[in-house]
Amino acid sequence: MANRIENPMKVITGPDTRWSYANVWEPKSINDGTPKYSVALLIPKSDTVTLEKIKKAIEAAYTEGAGKLKGNGKSVPPLAALKTPLRDGDVEKPDDETYAGHYFVNANNTSAPGIVDANRQPILTRSEVYSGVYGRASISFYAFNTSGNKGIACSLNNLQKLRDGEPLGGKASAESDFATEDEDDFLS
């Protein structure tokens, strides 16, 4: 196996990460911006290993991007004063039970993510990947300084679906809509 150079700003999330707002097949534009592929990654607060990796990657992006963050200013703003992508679901989305007990990160990219299954085989059937599945995500953090907005952002690299989950967004599956206890004889 070839030696890999470790990127301190890259993180592979844990297997219990849940995907929400999964726009991973077609890029979408928000407020007439550049169309991007995106996903909200819900990370259980109990997954301290992933959360620690994310915090270290944010710090590495801050250090690496110090020049960019300083811009024309006299000094680099402290990390605590900047917008960062790791957010507390209990604080920011208190009325959404899906986010309860989770941190979340919104990751996006103008390039499509690679999407594989648990055996690292490409997933080609779009219906297999939806908001609510569980899997790992490869994400990278970087500093930004655009139009006066400064902070750390998260780029979506690749996704690995590990297991199905209850679909998010309120839409029932065809299987559940038509699974009745008593099969009505609709032809009689």
| pLDDT tens per residue across span 163-183 | 999 998 765 556 666 666 555
CATH code of the domain made up of 10-174: 2.40.50.140
Looking up tokens 């957010």 gives 87
Whether 4 has a pLDDT exceeding 70, the answer reads no
> Where are the domains positioned within the chain?
10-174
CA distance 131 to 95: 18
**So what's the pLDDT on residue 170?**
61
Summarised one tens digit per residue, pLDDT across range 87-130 is: 999 999 999 999 999 999 999 999 999 999 999 999 999 999 99
Q: What is the mean pLDDT of the chain?
A: 90
CA distance 50 to 69: 25
Stronger pLDDT, 85 or 178, i.e. the higher one: 85
Summarised one tens digit per residue, pLDDT across range 135-148 is: 999 999 999 998 87
